[in-house]
Amino acid sequence: MRNKVKGSITIEAALVVPLILFIFGILLYMLFYYHDKNVLLAGAHETAVFGAGREDFKEVDLEEHFKARVGGRLLLFQRLSPNIEMNDKQITVSCVATKSPMALQVNCTMKRTDPEGYIRTIRKMKKLGER
């Protein structure tokens, strides 16, 4: 009786262990994906805010700023292709990061601001109201 060992535990383990490892791998892959997505979103938002308050920046300057913020922090995606569009009213930062079968795209739009001009206008209106 002692020499007879059932093989059912071995067969069950042979089926369950690969399934558990597969689920663990998928979860790890998803964590890397969402990490990279958050890094790209933070970089795009910071670049849009950085360029929104200043008129002297060009698209090339903001693209370098974006690459400095994001570069070397991605875990899953390797190739970045940022695109920055500027006009008088807003700045749009969009980026596509790719890895062979997958792509991740993020967009951030920020209105251009002129706080100094706004404050000056309010002060002028107050002076006119006092007269």
The model carries a pTM of 0.77
In a domain, 50, yes or no: yes
Cβ partners under 8 Å of residue 105, min gap 6: 94, 95, 96, 97
In the chain, the number of structural domains is 1
Q: Among all chains, which residue has been given the structure tokens 């930062």? A: 93
Mean pLDDT, residues 27-54: 92
Over the chain, what is the mean pLDDT? 88
In a domain, 60, yes or no: yes
Query: In Å, what is the CA distance from 56 to each residue of 49, 61, 76, 127, 129?
Result: 14, 10, 34, 31, 34
The pair of structure tokens assigned to 51 is: 């360029």
Assign residue 93 the CATH number of its domain. 3.10.450
Q: Among all chains, which residue has been given the structure tokens 């892959």? A: 29
Mean pLDDT, residues 103-118: 88
Q: Which amino acid is located at 51 in the chain?
A: G
pLDDT tens, residue by residue, 11-33: 888 889 999 999 999 999 999 99
Does position 1 have pLDDT exceeding 90, yes or no? no
Confidence of residue 46 (pLDDT cuts 50, 70, 90): very high
In a domain, 2, yes or no: no
In a domain, 1, yes or no: no
More confident residue, 113 or 83: 83
In a domain, 3, yes or no: no
- If you average pLDDT over each of 27-36, 43-52, 62-71, which comes out highest? 27-36
Q: Tell me which residue range forms the domain holding 33.
A: 8-130
Q: Which amino acid is located at 116 in the chain?
A: E
pLDDT for 74: 93
Does position 41 have pLDDT exceeding 70, yes or no? yes
